[in-house]
Amino acid sequence: DTGVSQNPRHKITKRGQNVTFRCDPISEHNRLYWYRQTLGQGPEFLTYFQNEAQLEKSRLLSDRFSAERPKGSFSTLEIQRTEQGDSAMYLCASSTGQGATNQPQHFGDGTRLSIL
């Protein structure tokens, strides 16, 4: 169990640029989640995958955000035309589970995005 890995750890970019983050989940985990966390808040759910299928998307996920998990392993989260309000910590988590079952989610250390 090598844990959930996220890259990069920090990203600084100018407003209007596109950014892409990567998440490598724990290898045997079929579910993968993306969250956004701003200062003083808990993580807010963005989207989740079961294997390669994106099963749910939050209303927080505007059209500028897109996530993929092409082979059911690693995932990418892309933000196009970044805005100041996108500055946050983006957390990835993974878990096992099927259907309605709930299993603990294991989190990576996050990617901190700063928009200049």
Q: Interface with another protein by CB under 8 A: which residues?
A: 4, 6, 31, 33, 40-45, 48, 55-56, 91, 93, 95, 97, 99-110, 112
Closest to 111 (Cα-Cα) out of 25, 5, 1, 27: 5
User: What is the distance between the alpha carbons of residues 108 and 51, in angstroms, rounded to a whole number?
Assistant: 18
By beta-carbon proximity to another protein, the closer residue of 76 and 80 is 76
Compare residues 1 and 14 and give the one whose CB is closer to another protein: 1
CA separation for the pair 84, 6 (Å, rounded) = 22
CB-nearer residue toward another protein: 80 or 97: 97
Of 14 and 102, nearer to another protein (C-beta) is 102
Q: How far is the CB of 105 from another protein (least distance, A)?
A: 6
Q: What is 39-99 written as a DSSP string?
A: TTS--EEEEEEETTEEEEE-TT--TTEEEE-TTSS-EEEEE-S--GGG-EEEEEEEE---T
